[in-house]
Structure 1
Amino acid sequence: MTEAIYLDDSDRRSFEATVERVAGDRAVLDRTLFYPEGGGQPADAGTLTADGETWRVTDVQKRDTIYHALDGDPPPAGTTVRGELDWERREAHMRYHTAQHLLSALLLDEYDAETTGNQLYADRARIDCGYDRFTETDLADVTARMNELIERSMPVEWYELDRETAEETLDPDRTRIHLLPDSITEVRIVEVGDYDRTACAGTHVSNTDAIGEFTATGRETKGPEEERLSFELSD
């Protein structure tokens, strides 16, 4: 099973690993910084290099282990490779993911709107939530409140709890542990200062001041009592 070192150190940009096996155009490494697609966060991109040859990592997926799709025949099992992340892409995903956590908490606190889904990109994001309809005034208020929260420079921390302890001690409306499969017994918790605490296996910035300026860019109705909010971040 690939060691997911991206869970502990979101700021690292490169690493060394050994190819454990090859499956078609995919390589399985003993350890990786490449985040596999999931939880609304896209897969990382970047390169693997070995013996003077370089492969582009075109996709990363987690199944029984983590598979790295490459743009050519992968290096054989036993090869030591150096992985380099496309850092601009990864950093954007971290900023948007942390902003999404803040937004989910804000919408729950101030609009009683629970998050039902989200999707992040490198230049925008969207969030679906249980709400009747947001107005233009709501969007302006959300933008102002989000920037107030970001400017508080809250630390972002992550750690693991066994599931039973997490379910007994944490607020279920915020952690949303009930959405996780029963097979998950260890829960990774992400905390944003004293404002939000939720279960999440994604990557994040270490302080809200790295998010940048938030702008709610639009809304659309996605069904009975469900709204989709779109947002962008700028430096």
Structure 2
Amino acid sequence: MDSPDPTDPIYRSDPYARDVSAKVVSHTDEGGIVLDKSNFYPTGGGQPGDSGWIDWDGHSLAIATTVKGDTGASVLVPAEPAQVPPIGAHVMQRLDWERRHKHMRVHTALHLLSVVIPLPVTGGSIGAGRGRLDFMMPEPPENRDALEAELNRLIDQDLVVSERWITDDDLDANPSLVKTMSVQPPRGNGRIRLVQIGEDAAPTDLQPCGGTHVARTGEIGRVLFGKIENKGKQNRRVNIALEI
């Protein structure tokens, strides 16, 4: 199962799409806006929902965040109570690209962090310039600086980041692909997206993920380690930040 469904949301098929036209198909009871196609990523998998603006007929509405609706569609949440475009209106989505791109850089860096520290992941979070993974790590690492250097060495290799698709049965046959204990890949449509870093013959990392990532690791830039926090007898939290 090598290719994605052509009906995949734009943020997945083209994470670099910034300005995208669409049509309003519905409103939620809470005032959210659902479009027929969206480049706004909804909160999920530790990655925050996208923000930005939508424009129509001389109006502009700020979008504070994006969440996933009951059908899986992106629901754009206005920043404040205001006039929303009516159902059927044609709008232009304008992504807060600087914020999204930082999410993409951090998210990809966290994939590489799970390579540098090959331990089970118990949690994680992505921010605009910062992120963290929680590991099943009873003792702190002996050489924090060496881990930071290894992470940046992988980034500097400018590895290709790509995707492939497998079936639920394929994943069941290869359970080691799932690194995150706290979040399981979504199932139900018969296919699962894998994000791959590196070449097909010997990928540096390969794991299920529905988030957005940069196209090559060199785009991440230099990453700095922050605190390594004790989160209980078995867990350590490793914080990283983009060097901006």
| TM surpasses 0.5 | yes
Q: Tell me how far 1:180 sits from its aligned partner.
A: 2.8
**Partners in 2 of 1:95 and 1:206 — Cα distance?**
10
Partner SS state of residue 43, structure 2: coil
Alignment of 1:195-214 (within 5 A): 195-214=204-223
Aligned residues: 227
- Deviation track 1:125-175 (CA, whole Å, cap 9, x = no partner) reads 11101001224x52111101001111111000013222212333x4x3233
Equivalent position SS for 1:229: strand
The share of aligned pairs that are identical, in percent, is 33
- Structure 2: any 5+ residue segments left out of the alignment? 1-6
Match of 2:178 among 170, 175, 180: 175
The answer to whether the 8 A contact 1:47-1:57 is kept is yes
1:228 to 220, 234, 237: 237
Distance in 2 of aligned mates of 1:76 and 1:221:
50
Q: Distance in 2 between matches of 1:35 and 1:76?
A: 22
Post-superposition offset of 1:87: 0.6
Counterparts of 1:97 and 1:184 in 2: how far apart (Å)?
Answer: 24
Structure number with the higher strand fraction is 1
Compute the TM-score of the two structures, normalised by the length of structure 2.
Answer: 0.87
Higher normalized helix content (fraction of residues): 1
Q: CA RMSD in A?
A: 1.8
Please give the per-residue CA displacement for 1:22-67, whole angstroms capped at 9, x wherever unaligned.
1242111011000001111111110000001000111211031321
Q: TM-score, normalised by structure 1?
A: 0.91
**How many angstroms apart in 2 are the aligned matches of 1:98 and 1:55?**
30
Letter in 2 for 1:67: V
Match of 1:42 in 2: 48
Deviation at 1:181, TM superposition (A): 4.7
One-letter amino acid of the counterpart of residue 60, structure 2 = T
**Segment of structure 1 superposing worse, 173-182 or 140-149:** 173-182
Letter of the 2:77 partner, please give it.
A
Q: What is the one-letter code of the residue matched to 1:52?
A: G
